[in-house]
Amino acid sequence: MDFTNLASQLNAGIILPEGIVVATLLVVLVGDLIAGRASTRWTPYATMAGLSLAIVALIYQWDTATPLSFLGSFMGDDLSIVFRGIIVLSAIATVPMSIRYIEQSGTSLAEFLVIMMTATLGGMFLSGANDLVTIFVALETLSISSYLLTGYMKRDPRSNEAALKYLLIGAASSAIFLYGMSLLYGLSGGKMKLLEISQSFVAADSDAPIGIIVALVFVIAGIAFKIAAVPFHQWTPDVYEGSPTPVVAFLSVGSKTAGFALAIRLLVAVFPVVSEQWHFVFTALAILSMVLGNVVALAQTSMKRLLAYSSIAQAGFLMIGLVVGTEAGYSSMIFYLLIYLFMNLGGFTCVILFSLRTGTDQISEYSGLYQKDPLLTLCLSICLLSLGGIPPLAGFFGKLYIFWAGWQAGAYGLVLVGLVTSVISIYYYIRVVKMMVVKEPQEMSDAISNYPEVRWDLPGLRPLQVSLILAVVATSLAGILSNPLFTLANNSVSHTPLLQAAIDQQQAPKAVVPPVATIAPAVTSVAQR
Amino acid sequence: MIPLEFYLLLAAALFCIGIYGLVTSRNVIRVLMSIELLLNAVNINLMAFSNYLDPATATGQVFTVFVISIAAAEAAVGLAIVLAIYRNRDTVDMEEFNLLKW
């Protein structure tokens, strides 16, 4: 009797998508143990099927009446559903890229898939985590499996080195983050749930919450590491250059998305008392990321490092949406993440295909690619131009929406920096495109002159081709046919009570209402729901 | 009874020592040990807060158990990576790892 009562209180159905991922993970792991080497034929497809099933489960949970589960530890609201969906999609897209890549390197594919699904699981839990313990455990699940993925090519010294750097910097930053969380626990008088913490801060109502600011600094260090914001970005280019390319694709989308989910939930829920301070810090981080990411990318010679700096810059654009904190700001950020998923994964698929055929990632080796492989040239060009924000492609609409939201909210400086730096970014994206397209036959690089005959019937290349075409089609059409994505992003924000409370609170000072009086009921009403 | 501040100061000192070790060490194993110090500083903080502010539910102590177990997982992965890199490079000196330049 007691047990059934408790089980119904847990509301465990909310984590059904995660449950499906766990089940898939176990099937792949055990299947690989039993079938051995022969299992490589079906494990990638089982993984994709399981993850797709998780997406279906997520769709069914849209607008669920009781999002709070596990006694308030996990929040399955629409915001978390969108973020979990993006993370699972990025994992699904990573699978077809990795089949051929991992087989060519002679390592086991099933283990790779299992570790990647564990990382996905960590990211999914992080998107909905609603108390400090859950946040920490989910964050570490994601991080530790990312370290393992980074070092997956264990005979390659570059992969080793990338993994070591990632592990040391990552572990240090999560320890700092954790110190911040311990301060939050103490300052709130022994609370773990995010909303209880912020309620106790509001109730204390002190003028100079220095302790809260110290905790905020530690927490921001941890978040900024995860989303690779300047000046916490130093690991990014090294890790991206050294680790296996499918892993980089997953880290640049999945892990970053999880970081943003954590940023929104933690900052908006816990720190309304010091919202001016964290908005200021994130404005600075956004400007630094956009400027440094785009400028340093100009000087890169390796394609993977170029994409690393480009992803730092993209994180800067995304942070504009977080900083302005209006309804349009949040939904533009989610919209841009959805588009970024397609264009960035499409770009990485092209880079993987090129390195599978030539064995190099140097930008100079791309020259003259058009003569040998027009399809790859076309796909890579579309993805890069979209990342740069050239009009008919999806990236343009994503940027447009973010800048429009920023302008509406009065963040003129941020938007101007964003505009100027995106012009800079077009230069280095176009440079690669120009190199591939216009070179004369005699100026071809060595890699291109020895380019193998284009064959898609090698084992593992067919799924890569399909995913490449899908990503490119999505990138070219998502801009023009953006309405469903747009509606999805908007609904996820307007159906999330947490964000609605924060948006109301942002508008409150304009109406000359004492802030505390409006926050407290808003937060309480959210807590009760 | 020892006041709460003493524990917090001890934790802060331990945290600073950990950061110092992190910045100055050249040996990878020492860096890993410094990270353990950071996590232990957090544990002291959590235990102290839990005892003084929240003795009834003791969620801080539960959190500490989570931190300890995850620190163990992190150390295991860290040592595995160090082992892999030692087999390839025959060194655990941070300064030697410069294949990837920023």
Q: What is the pLDDT of residues A229-250, one digit of tens each?
A: 989 998 999 999 999 999 999 9
Q: Using CB atoms, pick whichever of A140, A162, A182 lies closest to residue B70.
A: A140
- Note whether B49 contacts A182, CB cutoff 8 Å: yes
Asked if A137 and B70 come within 8 Å (Cβ–Cβ), the reply is yes
Question: What distances in angstroms separate CA B3 from CA A161, A402, B6, B44, B49, one per listed residue?
Answer: 45, 50, 6, 14, 11
Question: Can you give the pLDDT at residue A515?
Answer: 43
**Cβ–Cβ of A164/B97 closer than 8 Å?**
yes
Tokens of A346: 């499409």
Helix (H) or strand (E) holding A346: helix A327-358
Please, what sign has the CA dihedral across residues A343, A345, A346, A350? positive
CA distance A482 to A478: 5
CB contact set of A206 (below 8 Å; sequence gap of 6+): none
For A274, A323, A390, the CA distances from A202, given in Å and listed in that order, are 10, 21, 45
CB contact under 8 A, B28 and A137: no
Residue A49 to chain B, least CA–CA distance (Å): 29
Label each residue of A455-492 as H, E or C. Answer: CCCCCCHHHHHHHHHHHHHHHHHCCCCCHHHHHHHHHH
The pair of three-digit structure tokens given for residue A330, joined into one six-digit string = 């949040």
Q: What's the pLDDT at B92?
A: 87
Q: How far is CA B15 from CA B18, B40, B66, in A?
A: 5, 8, 19
pLDDT in tens, B55-69: 888 899 999 999 999
Residue A526, pLDDT above cutoff 70:
no
Residue B42 to residue A168, Cβ atoms within 8 A:
no
- Average pLDDT over every residue of A45-65: 94
Partner B, chain A 228-257, Cβ-Cβ below 8 Å: 234, 237-238, 241-242
DSSP reduced 3-state for A233: coil
Q: What is the pLDDT of residues A504-518, one digit of tens each?
A: 887 765 444 344 444
pLDDT-based confidence at residue A459 (cuts at 50, 70, 90)? confident
Chain A: give the shortest CA distance to residue B2, in Å. 17
Chosen from A160, A218, A225 to mutate, greatest number of chain B CBs within 10 A: A160
Residue A172: list chain B partners with CB under 8 A. Answer: 22, 35, 38
CB contact under 8 A, B66 and A137: yes
B82: nearest CB among A132, A164, A234? A164
Give the HSE-up count for residue A145: Cα atoms under 13 Å, Cβ half-sphere: 22
* Chain A residues with CB-CB distance to B51 below 8 A: none
Cis peptide before A246 (omega within 30 of 0): no
Per-residue pLDDT at A208 = 58
pLDDT at A36 exceeding the cut of 70? yes
A and B: number of Cβ contacts within 8 A: 125
State residue A6's pLDDT score: 79
Q: What is the pLDDT of residue A372?
A: 86
A128-187 pLDDT, tens per residue? Answer: 999 999 999 999 999 999 999 999 998 889 999 999 999 999 999 999 999 999 999 999
Cα distances (Å, whole numbers) of residue B72 to A235, A236, A525, B66, B80: 23, 25, 40, 10, 12
Grade residue A34 by pLDDT with cuts at 50, 70 and 90: very high
The residues, ordered by sequence, that sit 6+ positions from A109 with a Cβ below 8 Å of its Cβ are: A40, A43, A44, A98, A99, A102, A103
For residue B84, give the nearest of A140, A151, A237 by CB distance.
Answer: A151
Residues from B in contact with A at Cβ < 8 Å: 8, 11, 15, 18, 22, 28, 31-32, 35, 38-39, 41-42, 45-46, 48-50, 53-54, 57, 59-60, 62-63, 66-67, 70, 73-74, 77-78, 81-82, 84-85, 88-89, 97, 99-102
Q: How far is A300 from chain B (nearest CA, A)?
A: 11
Mean pLDDT score, A355-384: 90
Inter-chain residue contact B63 with A136, CB threshold 8 Å:
yes
CA of A484, closest CA in chain B: separation in Å? Answer: 40
Confidence (pLDDT) at A37: 83
Rounded CA-CA distance A47/A44 in Å is 5
Hey, what long-range contacts does A433-438 have (CB within 8 A, 24 or more apart)?
A: A433/A380, A433/A381, A433/A384, A433/A385, A435/A363, A435/A364, A435/A366, A435/A367, A436/A366, A436/A367, A436/A368, A436/A369, A436/A370, A436/A377, A436/A380, A436/A381, A437/A370, A437/A377, A437/A381
Q: Decide if A325 touches B, using CB distance below 8 A.
A: no
Contacts of A43 (CB under 8 A, 6+ apart): A28, A31, A32, A109, A110, A113
State the smallest CA–CA distance between residue A406 and chain B in angstroms: 32
Q: If you average pLDDT over residues B69-93, what whole number do you get? A: 93
pLDDT band at residue A403 under the 50/70/90 scheme? very high
ipTM > 0.90 for the complex: yes
- Decide if A160 touches B, using CB distance below 8 A: yes
Q: Is the pLDDT assigned to residue A110 strictly greater than 90?
A: yes
The Cα A353–Cα A362 span in angstroms is 13
Report residue A248 as tokens.
């980089």
Let me know: does A46 contact A28? Beta carbons within 8 Å.
Answer: yes
pLDDT tens-place string over residues A40-53: 889 999 999 999 99
Q: Helix A78-105 vs helix A16-35: angle between axes, to the nearest 10 degrees?
A: 20
d(CA A47, CA A22): 11
Interface test with A, best of B31, B42, B65 (most A CBs within 10 A): B42
* A115 contacts chain B (CB < 8 A): no
CB contact under 8 A, A238 and B67: no
Mean pLDDT in chain A? 89
The whole-angstrom separation of Cα B76 and Cα B68 is 12
Residue contact A164–B62, C-beta within 8 A: no
